[in-house]
Structures are given as C-alpha cells and as structure tokens.
Structure 1
Amino acid sequence: MLNSLVALKLLHRNDRDKSYCLGPKLYHYGFLAKDNISVVKHAYPLMKRIRDKTKEAVTLYVLENDYRVCYEHVESLLFMSCVVRVGDRFPLWAGAGGKCILAYSDETYVLNEIEKAYPITGATITDRESFLSELASIRERGYAISHGEREEGVISVAVPIFEPPHRIFGCLSVAAPTVRLDEKAIEELIPELKDICSRISMNLGI
C-alpha cells in the first residue's frame, strides 16, 4: 500500500532513514479542495476587501473538533503582522475567534471548554464566572475582542458566522499589533464585518 501511495506521489519516501512524508500530489489536491469549498470561495473576496481597507490580517475560522481551524487567511499589507496558516488550529478558550464561537455554543460544551483554560498570557481569561460574563457581553454586542489573550501585543476582533438551523459555524477575525489597531478603529470596522459575516451566513443557508 505504501509503495502504491509513493507511486501516486501521495507519499514521499526518504531513502536515508526509511521514513515517509506527505507527497506533492496531496499539496496540489489540497489547493483544489480549498478552491472548491463554497464558504472559502464566497468569503475570500470579502475578506480581501476588509484587508485592503484596514491593511491588517483577516482570518476565517471554522469550528472543528473542539478547535477553531483556519480555513482561509488574507495576509496584512504591513511588515509587522499577525501570521496564521491555513490548517492552523487554536483553542476555543483563548482569543477573540475562540470566544466568539463559544458565545453561541451549547452551555455544556462551553463549560467543558472553560475547564481546559490556562494562562497563555497574563490577559487570558481562566476564571469561570469572568468567562461566562464575557460570553454574555459578546452575545449582547455581536462581536468579540481580545487584548493579547492568546498572544501578547496583539488585538483581535471576531464576528460570528452561522449555518442552518442557526448553529455557530465559525467566525471572521481581524488581528493586528496593538500599536496599530485601537478600540475606536474596531468600532468603525464592526458594521462592515457584521455585514460580511451575514452574507457568508446567507451563503451557508441562513
């Protein structure tokens, strides 16, 4: 079986130590799959519009197996930026994207995730009551903000995306160094982010 996968270039065999790694065909197929995922195709031009307006990085996160997984990322136009790769996964209990998803998740699921929390930075919320209060505030205003909760020196904002029947699907996040993005700039950005996430949700059938 391994020899067949190597012949198809789905695996690559290292003759020196007899180990295997993913082959070039899988890299190619990955891009084909990405280009055919409806939500990514629909979201990308909208994400690029936000990036061009703010010059900051924009990321599409999707809820997958207790993580938020990057499905698409549009890089910042500026030298000092927040870099995320497609396929990267992050915990739900740290950062704007994770909190945004948890705010619209089932209560039992939320409590289980909060139990996993530990201080990644000095700003990471780990106290149960503080976390639940934060999630209630996110639902009230319709977006989440993180001030260095997952990575020091980074501010991020996230708006939810839903799928039928109004289940949380993921979120769209804008992240930047705190020296460039402040709360006033975020407040000005929120209406457009909400509009874009509403369009993506509609594309998913909401």
Structure 2
Amino acid sequence: MPASDSSAKSTNNPLLVLGKITAILDAFSLAKPVLTLGDIREATGMPTSTVQRLVTNLTSQGFLDREEDAYRIGLRMAYWAAPATRGKEVLDVISPLLKELRDTTGETATFFKAEQHYRVCVALAETRHALRREMHVGKVLPLHAGSAGRVLLAWDQELLDSVLQDQLESITESTITSSEDLAAVVKQTRADGFAITVGEREDGASGLSAPVFDSSANLLGALTISGPTLRMPLEQCQAWVETLLETAEHMTRLVGGRFPGEGKS
C-alpha cells in the first residue's frame, strides 16, 4: 500500500482520531484551564498540523472555546457532562478513583469529611497488603492528628478557629498538642495544597492528603493515601504527591467542583 494511502487510512480511522481528541482534552486541567496550541502540542506530542486541525474541529463543534490566542474546555461540554453525575451520590462518583489510587500506590486510599471536631472516613479502597492500618467506613478520628485533619482544617477557617480552642490530646510522641504549632502546620498545608504526616495519630504509620472541592469552591473532603511507614517513608510520600493531587483534581472535576479563587467557566 502506498504511504499516502496508509496515512489517509490512519487519519480516517475513527478510533485513532478519538484517541487523539481524548489526548487533547486530557491536556486541560483545573491547574491549567487555558492552553495555547503550543501547550497542547507539547502535552500530547502530536505534530503541529494535527493539533491545529483537531483543535479547529473541536472548537467548531463546541468541545473547545477560543480565548484570544488560547483555548479552554467548551461550555457545551458542561452541558453534556451534567447528566453523568446527576442523581448519583458523590461517593458513587469518587469511589472508582479511590480504587485507581489504591491500585497505583498499593496503599489504602480514603476519603474523609469533617463532622464537628472530628474527621470521619466516608469511603475507602483498602490495600491488598497483609500489613495494613486498621480503617473502615464510619471510623471517627481527631482532627488535630494526621494529614487528613490538616487538610480539613486548612480550608475551613471557622472549624480551625474552633478546634484551636480545644485541648489537643497527645496520641503519640509526634502528635501536635500546641495550638500555635497546629495553626502553623495548617497554614503551611494551605500554602502547599497538601499535607504529609508520619506517626501523628499512630506510631509507624504515614499519610498524605489533598483537598477536594465542590461547585461553590467549598471543601468537600480530604483524599488520603495511608499505610505503614515501613512502606511509606517520607521520601515515598513525597514521590506520591503528584499522583495524589492529580486524583484529587480529577475528583473535583467529576463532581463539578472548582478551586477557591477560580471563576466559573
């Protein structure tokens, strides 16, 4: 078959084209909602001519909206996406991502919500390792100990102010019991966008957490990876930060959420 015929067949293959379109749409994120053609080309690795052709077509069909010399996900996509989660509980939406995070890291992936001055496990995908931290849906834990607590406090000033008035109980030698120290690490958590703790609630256990937001940019909950420090030393936790943040962002997108400070599209 002549090369030109092969190229034409490849270009017209709907599955190959769909894969390229998916790659372009996947290049956009809450952290990078607006991209130039050069950004898209760099993110996808596709030739300039291919990117230009597909982006032009996607824009004409409403998949993308043009913003001066750049592009963002089209508003028409939000219209199509709405029925995907309508009528589904938030936990039904995020549970598959908990399993993906568990499978990627090999450790337990958990979702916590704040209830008064405590955090409650509302969903989890448990590690398959025999050695594991005990965790179950409905487990109630203190807010001042552990990475999930820091995240839940970092984006809820009223709750933080209230917890800082409490007597902070010592659970392990690493538990923060000073209001000043807790306020400082919570402030750092908000600046970093995530938290890592080792041994605060349970000796020999580590955790890293990131926030998930709702459509009003309010905190929905904390996504956490947790496990024995033997498998999760600080260096390993740091290596998983990007994976954690990507999953938390994906959850935020699936529930129609947005980051604080971002305008609605």
TM-score, L = length of structure 2: 0.61
Q: Which amino acid aligns with 2:216?
A: P
Equivalent residue for 1:196, pick from 247, 250, 255:
247
Equivalent residue for 1:112, pick from 162, 173, 189:
162
Contact 1:75–1:83 (CA<8 Å) still a contact in 2? no
Structure 1: segments with no counterpart, 5+ residues: 1-35
Q: Which amino acid aligns with 2:219?
A: I
Alpha-carbon RMSD across the aligned residues, in angstroms, is 1.6
Match of 1:149 in 2: 200
CA distance in 2, matches of 1:157, 1:94: 12
CA distance in 2, matches of 1:63, 1:165: 17
**CA deviation string 1:10-31 (max 9, x = no partner):** xxxxxxxxxxxxxxxxxxxxxx
The residue matched to 1:157 in structure 2 has which SS? strand
Match of 1:26 in 2: none
Structure 1 residue 120 displacement after superposition: 1.0
Aligned length: 170
Match of 1:134 in 2: 185
Give 1 or 2: higher strand fraction: 1
The residue matched to 1:180 in structure 2 has which SS? coil
Q: Which amino acid aligns with 2:98?
A: M
Match of 1:179 in 2: 230
Displacement over 4 Å in runs of 4+: none
Match of 1:71 in 2: 122
CA distance in 2, matches of 1:202, 1:64: 24
Match of 2:108 in 1: 57
**CA deviation string 1:122-175 (max 9, x = no partner):** 111111221111011111111111111111110111111112321112111111
Structure 1 residue 37 displacement after superposition: 5.6
Structure 1 residue 113 displacement after superposition: 0.7
Give the number of the structure with larger relative contact order, counting CA–CA contacts within 8 Å between residues 6 or more apart: 1
CA distance in 2, matches of 1:189, 1:145: 10
Match of 1:88 in 2: 139
The residue matched to 2:141 in structure 1 has which SS? strand
Contact 2:132–2:227 (CA<8 Å) still a contact in 1? yes
Q: State which structure, 1 or 2, has the greater radius of gyration over its C-alpha atoms.
A: 2
**CA deviation string 1:83-118 (max 9, x = no partner):** 211111112111111111101111x43122123211
Structure 1 residue 205 displacement after superposition: 2.6
Equivalent residue for 1:48, pick from 99, 117, 120:
99
CA distance in 2, matches of 1:37, 1:183: 36
CA distance in 1, matches of 2:142, 2:215: 24
CA distance in 1, matches of 2:217, 2:185: 21
Q: Which stretch of the first structure deviates more once superposed, 61-70 or 153-162? A: 61-70
Q: Which amino acid aligns with 1:138?
A: T
The residue matched to 1:101 in structure 2 has which SS? helix
Structure 1 residue 202 displacement after superposition: 2.2
| Matched-pair identity in % | 28
TM-score, L = length of structure 1: 0.77
CA distance in 2, matches of 1:114, 1:37: 36
Decide whether aligned partners of structure 1 residues 129 and 71 sit closer, same or farther in structure 2, where only a CA change above 3 A counts.
same
CA distance in 1, matches of 2:104, 2:235: 15
